[in-house]
Amino acid sequence: MSSNLMEVRNLTVDYVGEDSVARAVNGIDFEIREGEAFGLAGESGCGKSTVAFALARLTRLPGLVTGGSIRFKGEEVLGFEKERLRKYRWREVSFVFQSAMNALNPVIPVSEQICDTIWTHNPKASAEEVRARAVEMFELVGIPPRRLDDYPHQFSGGMRQRICIAIALCLNPRLIIMDEPTTALDVVVQRDIIEQIVELKSRLGFSVLFITHDLGLMIEFCDRIGIMYAGELVEVAPSAAILNSPQHPYTRALGNSFPPLTGPRQRLEGIAGTPPAPRAMPQGCRFAPRCAQAMPVCSLVPPELKIYPERESEAACHLLK
């Protein structure tokens, strides 16, 4: 089994208001292995982006990481000082967010924006070396290098997002955090980009943390998936297990609310009710009020995330033995 690149333990993130605190992430544990694509799925507001920002050490007030540990290659990320943090971001871990393509500066040619990133982290590199790396990155993401000096508005949305992926990859990071990287694009372009990331991942060997609303896309692309509900992980399992033998009732409900990848069209069921508000969490299992199989114990005792080695999975549900 491959080793862990990142280990998250008991991670807790709060949003602090004037007179109240909303716990958006409530003590979650997971790991991202070397070379794997790990997905985080769950309904809107379950805390996926909050986790992504915490891992990147980009949590900003009113958000606050109030507990737990994030270890990257064994080092505690939450303890990094300014210089170590600078190296960690981009060189070791980089990001592609949904809005990334709009973050390109419209009045600066793309070449400068890529070269600046390379230069900032390699101040001793010559202009030729930096330019050569920028050309290589354009080729890597399938854009003709002759377009390197164009401005962002001269590219389509899909190409701009590829440029952001090139920028994210240009320092050879070991982990790329992708939060809805293709959501703003049409389905065909989305698939093209995801396929390209998969190909680059196997060629370059980096790991990916992938967040998307599209569970079908995630199952196809990721090796393992963590299912989040109301700030907690309720199941972590290989993608095939999430698709074929989901253990947690929420995972099943989430699966039923997406169209199947193959086979005949089916009626989608959706999930009745809405997730609880962060300030009004149920006492026991957070999913119990919406769970058709809930038992009396479920509304009293929060289930722990337990390991099921025979299935290589973890799940938090009182129904499971």
CA–CA separation, 156 and 143 (whole Å): 11
- The piece of 43-51, 130-138, 160-168, 181-189 that touches ligand ATP (CB under 6 A) is 43-51
Pick the binder of ligand ATP from 37, 46, 134, 141 (CB under 6 A): 46
The residues, any chain, with a CB within 8 Å of residue 71's CB and separated by 6 or more, are 6, 7, 8, 9, 77
Nearest-approach distance from CB 44 to ligand ATP, in angstroms: 3
Select 148 or 215, whichever has its Cβ closest to ligand ATP. 215
Choose the binding region for ligand ATP from 38-46, 150-158, 240-248, 280-288 (rule: CB under 6 A): 38-46
62 counts as binding ligand ATP under rule CB under 6 A: yes
- Asked if 45 touches ligand ATP (CB under 6 A), the answer is yes
Per-residue x/- track, 194-223, ligand ATP (CB under 6 A)? ------------------------------
* Residue among 47 and 255 whose Cβ is closer to ligand ATP: 47
Among 9, 15, 119, 319, binds ligand ATP (CB under 6 A): 15
Distance of alpha carbon 100 from alpha carbon 104, whole angstroms: 7
Nearest distance from C-beta of residue 186 to ligand ATP, angstroms: 20
Contact track, ligand ATP, 255-284, x by CB under 6 A: -----------------------x------
Q: Pick between residue 50 and residue 117 the one whose CB is nearest to ligand ATP.
A: 50
Q: Which two tokens stand for residue 164?
A: 């952001």
Closer CB to ligand ATP, 51 or 115, in the complex: 51
Residue 183 interacts with ligand ATP (CB under 6 A): yes or no: no
Tokens describing residue 123? 């101040």
Is there binding between residue 44 and ligand ATP (CB under 6 A)? yes
Q: With contacts defined by CB under 6 A, how many residues of the chain interact with ligand ATP?
A: 14
Phi, psi of 238 (to 5 degrees): -60, 150
Q: Which residue in the set 6, 32, 48, 160 belongs to the binding site for ligand ATP (CB under 6 A)?
A: 48
Tell which one of 4, 26, 50, 117 touches ligand ATP (CB under 6 A). 50
HEC readout, the chain? CCCEEEEEEEEEEEEECCCCEEEEEEEEEEEEECCCEEEEECCCCCCHHHHHHHHCCCCCCCEEEEEEEEEECCEEHHHCCHHHHHHHHHHHEEEEEHHHHHHCCCCCCHHHHHHHHHHHHCCCCCHHHHHHHHHHHHHHCCCCHHHCCCCHHHCCHHHHHHHHHHHHHCCCCCEEEEECCCCCCCHHHHHHHHHHHHHHHHHHCCEEEEECCCHHHHHHHCCEEEEEECCEEEEEEEHHHHHHCCCCHHHHHHHHCCCCCCCCCCCCCCCCCCCCCHHHCCCCCCCHHHCCCCCHHHHCCCCCCEEEHHHCEEECCCCCC
For the bound state, the minimum distance from the C-beta of residue 63 to ligand ATP, rounded and expressed in Å, comes to 6
Q: Which of 39, 47, 152, 158 binds ligand ATP (CB under 6 A)?
A: 47
Q: Which is nearer to ligand ATP, 44 or 126 (CB)?
A: 44
Please give the residue ranges that form the binding site for ligand ATP (CB under 6 A). Answer: 15, 22, 24, 42, 44-50, 62-63, 278
